[in-house]
Structure 1
Amino acid sequence: FIKIVESEALTLHAMMMTSMPYFILMKPNTLEIINKIWSFRNNTQIPVCFTLDAGANVHVLYPNKDKETVLQFIKDELVGYCQNGQYLCDEIGNGATQIE
């Protein structure tokens, strides 16, 4: 799962950087966050990974059982790279429901 998710995110940005006209939407802090996530995963063996939207925003994915540890990592290590120190936390919902 991790390899597929991260590869897809990086492939999307690689495609944008090699298109004509080319453009780079990742920012230096995006790369810093990615490297911090890789280091954290390597050091803790917690299966945390990232994906990217079509801009500079990093989305951190992790199992719910590791939520407390990962959120502390985000606060301690990643929030300094976030614009105005802001970040969003969300989780998987229950899916679509029909409205009458």
Structure 2
Amino acid sequence: MPSQAAEIRLDELDLAHGALRLPRRTVYLDTLTGELLTQWLRMRQQTWPACSNPHLLVSSQTALDPSARPSARCCSGRRSTAPVSPPEPCGRTAS
């Protein structure tokens, strides 16, 4: 379910063993999924270096707020008609 995907926390992801260790079961990741998650984590770190939110999936609105509830909207599979723009870097000062 999309809402369950939004609830995944970073500490449940075990890339070294290619697994997602959820409370009731372990999901083993295929190679592509592991590579995509590695890329996402790299982009997340570069975009929001001060990110304190413990969830795997964050947005510019939730990255710096550890108490922010994740949004299932990011995982719903619904297409938005709004134009897509790159995320704003949080925690950085303009030069």
TM bracket, shorter-chain basis = 0.3 to 0.5
> Relative contact order, CA 8 A, sep 6+: which one is greater?
2
Q: Which structure has more helix as a fraction of its residues? A: 1
TM-score (norm 2): 0.34
